[in-house]
């Protein structure tokens, strides 16, 4: 089992490099440091997960890397070029249901191609390819309201893949789904990752999901969000959800949980103390 400390410098092979990111928010109770000096990099084709308790700044980091949040210290670079704002190299998949309800599955998936001005026949052909890749062939003409939550998230993934991003950035895309669906969709994500060699950065609070999918798991501390530890997951590829029953899988989960437990406990204590303070005001 290969364990490692958080990366201290950008390796020359890095596709995505996140360097010394700090983000502060002003609140009614003073300033909160949501993300504190976070640095890591992701190599081409690598699947990296960032895991941490609620309130550790995971989603803030997602928004910073995706370019939706500005006004932060540090830098985000893709292939050595510093980016600010949204960038075509980074395709985002959101935690919330994000398909366009007024568009069919194929029109949703073809959306980024439509924006790019690709001719209709060509974009429908590309959309069909990505719809098949996420296993939704036969549902091209359906509307999101006719699909299950898991299917809608696959549409969102296919739509982002259709823009052919260098890096797929996902924020807990399966958080609203039940555990069994989540495991099976994990298989689908692994198949896609294997087929496209898609560089992927997943933000999650789910331990099994992180270990099932990743080559590397970065553990974050509870507020302020710092990188606590990087764990290399050297489970064999290709993987599927059966890996969760293996002994090494359990060891990785236990090991990460040791780090995470302390942070999650701090998060719960902090939430409880805030509720108490509100009660005494």
Partner 1 sequence: MTSATRMASRNRARAVGAASIVAVVALVEVLIGAGVINAFVVPRPTQILLAIPRIVVEEHVLHRFSQTAQEVLWASLLIAVVGIALGMLLFRFRPLRLAFETWVGALAAAPIVLMYPLFLVIFGRSTTTIVMIGFAAGLAPVILKTVEGLAGTRKVLIDVGRSFKLSSAQQFRKVLLPAALPAVFVGLRLGLIFAMINIVGVEFLINFGGLGQLINELAERYDLPGTYGAILFVILASILFFDLTERIERWLRPVE
3-state secondary structure labels for all residues of 5-48: CCCCCCCCCCCEEEEEEEEEEEECCEEEEEEEEEEEEECCCCEE
Token duo for residue 176: 């609203």
Closest CA to 113 of 164, 66, 168, 152: 164
The region of 141-149, 178-186, 251-259, 266-274 touching partner 1 under the rule CB under 8 A is 141-149
Q: Pick the closer one to partner 1 by CB: 145 or 280.
A: 145
Q: Pick the closer one to partner 1 by CB: 20 or 82.
A: 82
Question: How far is Cα 224 from Cα 36, in angstroms, rounded to an integer?
Answer: 6
- Residues 148 to 167 in contact with partner 1, rule: CB under 8 A: 160, 163
Question: How far is Cα 197 from Cα 207, in angstroms, rounded to an integer?
Answer: 23
Nearest distance in Å: CB 173, partner 1? 12
The region of 17-25, 65-73, 173-181, 226-234 touching partner 1 under the rule CB under 8 A is 65-73
If one asks whether residue 98 binds partner 1 (CB under 8 A), the answer comes out as yes
Specify which residues 22 forms β-bridges with: 73
Phi/psi for 94 (5° steps) reads -95, 160
- Residues 108 to 127 in contact with partner 1, rule: CB under 8 A: 111-112, 115
The region of 1-9, 138-146, 211-219, 238-246 touching partner 1 under the rule CB under 8 A is 138-146
> Which positions lie near partner 1, rule CB under 8 A?
66-68, 86-88, 90-92, 94, 96-98, 100-102, 111-112, 115, 143, 145-146, 160, 163
């Amino acid at each position: 089992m290969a364990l490692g400390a958080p990366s201290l410098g950008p390796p020359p092979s890095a596709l995505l490099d996140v360097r010394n990111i700090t983000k502060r928010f002003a609140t009614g109770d003073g300033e909160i440091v949501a993300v504190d000096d976070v640095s890591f990099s992701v190599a081409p084709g690598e699947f990296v997960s960032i895991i941490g308790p609620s309130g550790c700044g995971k989603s803030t980091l997602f928004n910073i890397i995706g370019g939706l949040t500005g006004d932060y210290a540090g830098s985000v670079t893709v292939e050595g070029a510093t980016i600010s704002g949204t960038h075509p190299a980074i395709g985002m998949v959101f935690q919330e249901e994000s398909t366009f309800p007024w568009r069919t599955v194929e029109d949703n998936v073809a959306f980024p191609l439509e924006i790019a001005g690709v001719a209709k026949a060509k974009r429908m052909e590309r959309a069909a390819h990505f719809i098949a890749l996420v296993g939704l062939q036969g549902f091209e003409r359906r509307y999101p309201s006719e699909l299950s939550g898991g299917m809608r998230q696959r549409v969102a993934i296919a739509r982002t893949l259709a823009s052919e991003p260098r890096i797929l950035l996902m924020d807990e895309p399966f958080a609203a789904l039940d555990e069994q669906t989540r495991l099976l969709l994990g298989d689908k994500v692994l198949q896609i990752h294997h087929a496209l060699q898609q560089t992927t950065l997943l933000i999650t609070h789910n331990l099994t999901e992180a270990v099932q999918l990743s080559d590397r798991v970065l553990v974050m501390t509870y507020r302020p969000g710092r990188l606590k530890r990087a764990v290399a997951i050297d489970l064999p590829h290709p993987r599927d959800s059966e890996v969760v029953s293996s002994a090494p899988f359990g060891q990785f989960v236990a090991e990460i949980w040791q780090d995470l437990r302390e942070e999650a406990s701090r998060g719960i204590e902090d939430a409880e103390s805030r509720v108490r303070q509100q009660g005494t005001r």
